[in-house]
Amino acid sequence: MIGHMRRFVDVVAAVLGLAGVLLGVLGTRTQVANDGLLGSLVGALGIVVLLVAGARRLERRQLGHDKASTTGGERTMTQSAASSDLEVVVDRETGLMNAAFFAGLLPTKLATARRRLWPLSIVLMRVMEAEGEASAEGPATMAGFATSVLETIRAADVACRVGGDTVALVLDDTDEDGAAWVAERVQIQAARSGNAGIAKVCCGVAAYPSHGIEADELLAVAHEALARSVAEAEGPGLGPVIVAPTRPL
C-alpha cells in the first residue's frame, strides 16, 4: 500500500511539472500574463514535489543500505560466535571432538539408549608410540590416527580425543562384540596408514547395559579394560582389545 502511494506521488509530481512547463510556454506565446504566471507556479510546484520525492527515494535507499550493513554485521558476529563455540569443543590438532564434549555427550547418549532400548558402547583407544619415533602424543601422530578413526567409524558414531594419546568412541546401537570389532578395524586401518609414530593401539571396551547403566560407571569400567590392554601390550599384534567383564546382575 505504501509503495503504491509513493508511486502515485511520483506520477503527480511528473504531471504537475509537465503541466507547468506547457502552461508557461502557452502563456508566453499568447502573451497571457495570468496563464504564464499560473504555468510558472504549477511548474515550480511540480519541481518541488519532484525534489521531495527524490529526497525520499535517496533516504529510503540509505536506510536500506544501513539495514543491509547492520544485517551483514550481525551475520558476521553470529558466524564468529558460532566459530568460537565450535573451537571450545573441537581438538585443534586432530579435528576430533574434545574431552569436554565427550563428558556432555555420554550421559545424553545413554539416556537415548535407555529410551530406545538399544545398546551403547564405549571404546577407549590409547596410541602406543614406536621406539625411536616421536611421542605418540605428537600432533602428526595423533592427527594421522584421527584420520584412520574417521575413515573407519560410521557417520553416526562419535570420536573424541579425551587425552594426549587417547581417543574415545561412542557407538550407538552397538553391543560389546560389535564395539570390539570396530576397535580391531581401527587398528588395521592405522597399521595400513603407514603412521610411523604408532607401534600399537590398545583398546578397552565397555557397553550399556552389560557393564553399567550410568555414565560414570560405564566410563570407569572402560578405563579398567584399557588399563588391562596397556598392561598386556608387550605381546605380538596390533594391540590387545579387552572387553570388560559382564557385571553381576
Predicted confidence (pLDDT) per residue in 165-210, tens digit: 999 999 999 999 999 999 999 999 999 998 888 999 999 999 999 9
In this structure, are residues 210 and 243 in contact, taking their beta carbons and an 8 Å threshold?
no
Q: How far apart are CA 146 and CA 152, in angstroms?
A: 10
Q: Which three three-digit cell numbers place residue 117?
A: 532400548
Tens of pLDDT along 50-98? 555 555 665 566 555 555 555 555 555 445 444 555 678 999 999 999 9
Q: What is the pLDDT of residue 129?
A: 84
CA gap 60, 20 in Å, rounded? 28
pLDDT of residue 132: 45
pLDDT above 60: residue 21: no
For residue 113, what pLDDT is reported? 97
* Whole-prediction pTM: 0.66
May I ask the CATH class of domain 97-243? alpha beta
pLDDT (average), residues 134-153:
84
- Per-residue pLDDT for 223 more than 70? yes
Residue 236: predicted pLDDT: 85
Coil vs helix vs strand at 166: strand
For residue 121, is pLDDT > 80?
A: yes
The dihedrals phi and psi of 194, each to the nearest 5 degrees, come to 75, 20
Sign, CA torsion 50/56/58/64: negative
Number of alpha carbons in the 13 Å side-chain half-sphere of residue 140: 9
Reduced DSSP (H G I as helix, E B as strand, rest coil) percent helix, strand, coil of the chain, to 5: 60, 15, 25
- Arithmetic mean of pLDDT, 37-60: 55
pLDDT band for position 25 (cuts 50, 70, 90): very low
Mean pLDDT, to the nearest integer, of 144-161? Answer: 97
- Sorted by where each begins, the domain ranges of the chain are 2-86, 97-243
Q: What is the pLDDT of residue 229?
A: 96
